[in-house]
Amino acid sequence: LLVRGLRELAAFNADEFKAQVLAALADDLRFIEGDMSGLEFIDSRGLGALISLHRVCRSRNGRLRLVNPSSTLEQVIRIAQL
C-alpha cells in the first residue's frame, strides 16, 4: 500500500489518517510505503499513528517503510531515537 501527499500529521488528523490507511490495507497486505517528502509538520500523535501502523505491519510479518523523509520527519525520528 502506497501512502503519499501528506503535509501534516498531528493531533487533528492522526486518528483519521491511521483509520484510512488501515481501511485501505487489505487483510492480505503486509507492507505500507509512505512517501514523506511533503510532510511539513508532525507531532507526537502523528508519530504515534506511524508507530501504530508499524506494529500492524509487523504483526503481519511485514513492515512500514518511510521513503523520502522530510527534514522535519528525520529530526523527529532522531529525537525520538527510533
82 vs 76: which has the higher pLDDT: 76
Each residue's pLDDT tens digit, 17-75:
999 999 998 888 899 999 999 999 999 999 999 999 999 999 999 999 999 998 888 88
Q: Where are the beta strands (DSSP E) in 10-80?
A: 31-35, 41-42, 63-67
Q: What is the pLDDT of residue 72?
A: 85
User: Rounded to two decimals, what is the model's pTM?
Assistant: 0.90
Q: What is the pLDDT of residue 82?
A: 76
Q: How far apart are CA 80 and CA 61, in angstroms?
A: 24
The answer on pLDDT for 80 being more than 90 is: no
Q: 9: closest CA among 61, 76, 82, 55?
A: 76
DSSP state of 8: E
